Structure 1
């Protein structure tokens, strides 16, 4: 894979998809339907998906593309593949709460090695550079040329005063019970893959997820987190978190900054 080209293509497509999404987000009304799993889907999901898929296919015609909105891709497997969630956090989008993202990642031998997470309603753009290190780009954004870049690095956590982030729409009693095992100085809620990026940027130390997710929900944020020195592991046994699983379904997980004294499941 040409990582220099990949960085340019993923960044540009994420920004372009963000424009498509925001045009619909700012409209007077938009249609919301339910998929077979009862999760919501909007015209913004589908329009952004079409744009990203076409762009990736044109740039990398020989690479498998797995995307949430194309069910046929969920049965395909490859050692190396691109994986897309064109609008992560659709519930936040529908409620006009702003915590939604465009996620594009490249997975190599089970590891998301490059990724971009763009939160267009919040003007936050996170991605891995061609060398694998993660940055946040400060807006306004030029699709053809990167602006001011801030290197991302996880925080050195204080286990007596941890910063924790959890899901805004999917938090439950089991998650709260697990978080309560830690000494928490500050607790925040966020939607979509922004939670992984908040750990990467040092705005949180710990993000436990005791709920269903798919690989397209997490791969881009995981890549950003890894490029900032963070880690993501399985919740049950603390083993490494891998990608390319059957049907692209995730187990429960913990994302964290090294130095957090993790509690057992």
Structure 2
């Protein structure tokens, strides 16, 4: 596998999964079930997972694959792996708020190096090119013909005042207490890995997450942000957030533009 062969495949699979998700999203009704950890799952999660998993295993059979919907069966571990959240933001999907994404990423030596984040209800797609630069693709988002792409880049704080983005479904007092340590120009809420992408495009400067996430929730957004010049660090000691951890659970973290002077937790 090379980056040149990887990127077209994950881009196409994200778009195909997005079509399947929107087909179910736009139907009159869909069942919501609870997984073993009490988190919700729908037919859209399962259908997107099956589609992406089959595509990645066919294209890259030599690469370890980790997906949210098959997490209970993941016993093999490695330094290099593909990691997938087929429908990140299931709660946003269930409540028809649109802030959900398809996430596919490649992790190498503990770091997400390439990835795609597609928000089908919003028609926004972000991904890393083979050279690592992150772009947003606009236009028809055709599965075979790549449309116009524009490089994206983080911005710096405006006169020291930050635009902050936080979780739409999981914002709590601990998050607000941390945000209040900064001079804030404005704040917004967003679901799923779109929060990483808003920092990557300069639409936000800081995204603190004081709450539970898994590596498949964050890897693709992390890769996109990194390719746009941003950083993701642990909340407690500001060291880089790493991947391939036992159980694939993340510590609290902060995603930010490098011009932001981080405050202590």
TM-score (normalizing by structure 2): 0.99
Corresponding residue for residue 195 of structure 1: 195
Q: CA deviation at 1:159?
A: 5.7
Corresponding residue for residue 51 of structure 2: 51
Q: What is the CA–CA distance in structure 2 between the aligned matches of 1:228 and 1:222, rounded to whole Å? A: 10
Note the alpha carbon deviations across 1:46-88, whole angstroms, 9 max, x for none: 0000000000000000100000000344332111000000000
Q: CA deviation at 1:160?
A: 2.7
Return 5+ residue gaps in structure 1 as ranges: none
Q: What is the CA–CA distance in structure 1 between the aligned matches of 2:248 and 2:84, rounded to whole Å? A: 12
Corresponding residue for residue 38 of structure 2: 38
Note the alpha carbon deviations across 1:106-157, whole angstroms, 9 max, x for none: 0000010000000000000000001100000003111012101010100022
SS at match of 2:74: helix
Corresponding residue for residue 6 of structure 2: 6
Corresponding residue for residue 180 of structure 2: 180
Q: CA deviation at 1:161?
A: 1.4
Q: What is the CA–CA distance in structure 1 between the aligned matches of 2:139 and 2:175, rounded to whole Å? A: 34
Q: What is the CA–CA distance in structure 1 between the aligned matches of 2:159 and 2:37, rounded to whole Å? A: 38
Q: What is the CA–CA distance in structure 1 between the aligned matches of 2:263 and 2:227, rounded to whole Å? A: 24
Q: CA deviation at 1:158?
A: 3.0
Corresponding residue for residue 232 of structure 1: 232
Q: What is the CA–CA distance in structure 2 between the aligned matches of 1:42 and 1:72, rounded to whole Å? A: 17
Return 5+ residue gaps in structure 2 as ranges: none
Q: What is the CA–CA distance in structure 2 between the aligned matches of 1:69 and 1:241, rounded to whole Å? A: 23
**1:104 corresponds to 2:104:** yes
Q: What is the CA–CA distance in structure 2 between the aligned matches of 1:160 and 1:131, rounded to whole Å? A: 32
Note the alpha carbon deviations across 1:217-265, whole angstroms, 9 max, x for none: 0000000000000000000000111100001110000000001011001
Q: What is the CA–CA distance in structure 2 between the aligned matches of 1:39 and 1:121, rounded to whole Å? A: 22
Note the alpha carbon deviations across 1:8-39, whole angstroms, 9 max, x for none: 00000000000000000000000100111110
- Paired residues for 1:145-184 under 5 Å: 145-158=145-158, 160-184=160-184
Corresponding residue for residue 252 of structure 1: 252
Name the count of aligned residue pairs.
Answer: 265
SS at match of 1:69: helix
**1:88 corresponds to 2:61:** no
Is the contact made by 1:67 and 1:73 (CA closer than 8 Å) also made in structure 2? no
Q: CA deviation at 1:45?
A: 0.1
Cα RMSD after superposing both structures: 0.8
Is the contact made by 1:116 and 1:221 (CA closer than 8 Å) also made in structure 2? yes
Corresponding residue for residue 19 of structure 1: 19
- Paired residues for 1:58-137 under 5 Å: 58-137=58-137
Corresponding residue for residue 221 of structure 2: 221
Question: Larger deviation: 72-81 or 121-130?
Answer: 72-81
Is the contact made by 1:159 and 1:261 (CA closer than 8 Å) also made in structure 2? no
Q: What is the CA–CA distance in structure 2 between the aligned matches of 1:242 and 1:127, rounded to whole Å? A: 20
Q: What is the CA–CA distance in structure 2 between the aligned matches of 1:74 and 1:235, rounded to whole Å? A: 27
